[in-house]
Structure 1
Amino acid sequence: MEDLKKRKLEEAGNGDFSSKEELRLLLDPLAKPQLVDLLAKLGSQYPSIAEEIKNIASADPVHRKLFVRGLAWNTTSETLCAAFQEHGEIEEGAVIYDKATGRSRGYGFITFKHMESTQRALRAPGKLIEGRMAVCNLACEGLTGASSTPDLSLRKLYIGSLSPEVTSEMLLHFLGRHGEIEEGSVAYDKDTNESRGFGFVTYKTAEAAKKAIDDPEKTLGGRNIIVKYADSNKNKTGQPPLTGGMIPMPAVPMAPGHMQPGRSHIGTPVGYAYPQTVAPYPSASYGSPPTAPAPYPVQGPVSYPPVSVKRDPLGLPPAPSVGMSNYPYYYPKQ
Structure 2
Amino acid sequence: MPSPRILIIGQGLAGTALAWRLWERGVPFLIVDRAEALTCSKVAAGLMTPITGMRLTVSWRYAQFYREALPFYRRCGRLLHQRFCFPRGYVRLLKSEAEIAKWHKRRQDADMQPFLHPQRPVLDADVIHAPENGFQQRHAAWLDTPAYLEASRGFFEQQGAWMQAHVKPEDVHDDAAGVEWRGELFSHVIWAQGWNAQQHPLFHWVPFQSARGTILTVQADLRGERRILNRSCWLLLRPDGSLRAGSTYEWQFDNPHTPAPDQLQQLEQNLASLLKVPAQITAAQTAVRPIIKNHQALMGTHPSHPRVAFLNGLGSKGSLRAPWLARHLVEHLLDGAALDPAFDLQHNGV
TM-score by length of 1: 0.17
User: Using CA pairs below 8 Å that are at least 6 residues apart, which structure has the higher relative contact order?
Assistant: 2
Larger radius of gyration: 1
The structure with the greater share of residues assigned to strand is 2
TM-score by length of 2: 0.16
